[in-house]
Structure 1
Amino acid sequence: MPIKIPNNLPATNILESENIFVMDTDRAYKQDIRPLKILIVNLMPVKSITETQLLRLLGNSPIQVEVDFIYTESYVPQHTSQDYLTEFYGTFAEVRHKKYDGLIITGAPVEQMDFEDVAYWDEICEIMEWSKSHAYSTFHICWGAQAGLYYHYGIKKHAVSPKIFGVYKHHLSVEHEKLFRGFDDEFYVPHSRHTEVRKEDIEKVEALTILSEAEGAAGVYAIANLAKRQFFITGHAEYDPLTLKGEYDRDVKAGMKIEIPQNYYPNDDPTKQPVMKWRSVANLLFANWLNYYVYQETPYNLDELYAANDYMYYI
């Protein structure tokens, strides 16, 4: 089934070249199918790159998906033009009256700042509070995961050195978890961050369950609340094959002290083509979330949902 996106979104050409079935707004209106409504809070600097990464995965599903993008009003992005934002994005004020099957909060390049020092922190807090009654399931990624754990459960992030940077081996911490249905016993996911949340802090919160962990420095990977309505993912399964290379080359060019991404280049040789080990992981992760925790749970009429089930957030 297709993913419904705004007319003329630049990601369309890339996705179509990869045989991802996309449908523009005009065509979707002619179909008598209620798509899943997903809101993406895109906090990454170059919006189009993150759009393509996420849409590629959301579109690899038999479920029709309708996506809205928003950016923060309290901090206007510096690497995406206002014309682009005006055409393809909205603001929280423009969507706050709506209800969504799912919400995705992306990572952001602000992890070394205290949460309260981030220019748009108050706005993100408002969105996360709003999500309790307006989004059935919320999927937090990297900094978004750290922000969600801090806001909802008071779990702090901690600086690490050196940077957690590379492709790490992971395993499941619980059995028969639907989010990881079809995963191998061991699987690989990229990480790129200067901070971490600690296992011992998460285990003190009875409302949270650790679903997956990585070997070595990457630590805890996936956390869920008991109602399985909030997921916190510390890595970047959505990354393209060359995303880590781009970050590494950028930092080397800037003269920054940066280690070669772990388990990424053959023989740790950055002159060689990186090996992608997480493509199937990414597709399964997002397909499972959409199917088992969004599509299978939300009613046809979203307005009927929250009067009956809002309490589930507070279990």
Structure 2
Amino acid sequence: MPIVMDRGRIPTRLAEEKCVRPIGSFDTSGLQIALINNMPDPALEDTELQFFDLLDAAASDLPVHLRLYSLPKIPRSARGMEHLGNFYFGINDLLSRQFDGVIMTGTEPHQPDLREEPYWDALGDVLDWAEEHTGSTVLSCLAAHAGVLYSDGIPRHRLEDKQFGVFDDRKVLDHPLASGTAERMPFPHSRWNEVREEELTACGYSVITKSAEAGVNLFVKEKRKSLFVHFQGHPEYGARTLLKEYRRDVRRFLKGERETYPSLPRGYFDDPARKLMTEFQEQALSQRSEELMEVFPESAVGDSLESAWHSSATRVYRNWLEYLAAEKADSSTLVRMARIGRGVTSGLAP
């Protein structure tokens, strides 16, 4: 069943590349999902496509109405602001509505302390609103770190090197979100910081999956009326997303914007691709110039990349959508029972 979006608010790439059904008004019959896309401009549209693909694969026969938002005060170019103005709704629209589910992405941090970011107050407003006005809230990567810091004061911890690559999760808790998943679940990670299991569990969070190398990935906590779902990883990533991030970090090194050459993403490249990237690194270390990016072997390795995490990501998000559908059905039943009790339905006199 095609995902529906508001007519006139469907981003160009989604309209051209995906099957989207436009509607003329806010449709409350299906699952109402808000995607709060806070990614920086270079990744903004890719992130739209990634979450659309994931929700589309997970939804199957469940009707989903998707609406796009972004936190204010995230640094944007003129083009980025134009894109938001054309296709996104303002954050006040979000705060005036009820949604079955909300997904909030991270963004590139500019301050060591997330509380110093210019969007921190708006993020807090959204988190407070979500506790009362959603069935469940998904926080991805940096948004997960910000969420636990805001709600419970749990700090994130800087890593010695970037946690970058594809790492195997294992289930450590039987939970409906992990129902039907394999014991081994690979997921991409791309972050310089982590939140730690012992600090999460001390504040009432339940860890569902974790990796021996990458630590906690999927964890949850009930907050008032909403189940908060947190990922340190990126189940939404496409097959080439880590490659694009690696290319960006290599370019930053060649431009002198970072001191060290980035580590290869682990568990991602096959042997021939790893060999090509290692050869390019040797050249870059001896001839540090941005002009070298002209021979970066992206096209040579791109076709060999696969999203080994796709089936696990789809299953987890399917479970999430089914949870939302069950919550919506329960809520509708309670409303009908309350109205019947007041004698306003089923032919009863008002």
Q: For the residues of structure 2 that align with 1:84 and 1:91, how far apart are their CA atoms?
A: 12
TM-score, with structure 2 as normaliser:
0.78
Which residue of structure 2 lines up, in the alignment, with residue 50 of structure 1? 47
Q: Which runs of 5+ in 2 are unaligned?
A: 278-296, 339-350
Whichever residue aligns with residue 313 of structure 2, its letter is: A
Distance 1:113 1:102, change over 3 A: same
Q: How does 1:1-315 map to 2 (within 5 A)?
A: 1-7=1-7, 8-10=10-12, 11-16=14-19, 22-26=20-24, 34-46=29-41, 47-60=44-57, 61=59, 62-78=61-77, 80-110=79-109, 113-175=112-174, 177-205=175-203, 207-216=204-213, 218-226=214-222, 229-255=227-253, 256=258, 257-267=261-271, 268-269=274-275, 270=277, 272=301, 273-292=304-323, 294-299=324-329
Distance 1:297 1:111, change over 3 A: farther
Q: What's the CA shift for 1:300?
A: 7.8
Q: Equivalent residue of 2:128, what SS?
A: helix
* Deviation >6 Å, runs of 4+: none
Q: Equivalent residue of 1:277, what SS?
A: coil
Q: For the residues of structure 2 that align with 1:130 and 1:96, how far apart are their CA atoms?
A: 7
Q: For the residues of structure 2 that align with 1:121 and 1:66, how far apart are their CA atoms?
A: 27
Contact 1:170-1:213 within 8 A present in 2 as well: yes
Q: For the residues of structure 2 that align with 1:134 and 1:118, how far apart are their CA atoms?
A: 25
Q: What's the CA shift for 1:171?
A: 0.3
RMSD: 2.4
Q: Per-residue displacement from partner, 1:30-89 (whole Å, max 9, x unpaired)?
A: xx9701111111110132111111111112212111111112223352375332211211
Contact 1:100-1:135 within 8 A present in 2 as well: yes
Whichever residue aligns with residue 41 of structure 1, its letter is: I
Q: Which structure has the larger Rg?
A: 2
Q: Which runs of 5+ in 1 are unaligned?
A: 17-21, 309-315
Contact 2:220-2:230 within 8 A present in 1 as well: yes
Identity %: 27
Distance 1:142 1:245, change over 3 A: same
Q: What's the CA shift for 1:149?
A: 1.1
Q: For the residues of structure 2 that align with 1:179 and 1:260, how far apart are their CA atoms?
A: 31
Q: For the residues of structure 1 that align with 2:212 and 2:181, how far apart are their CA atoms?
A: 16
Q: Which structure shows the higher helix fraction?
A: 2
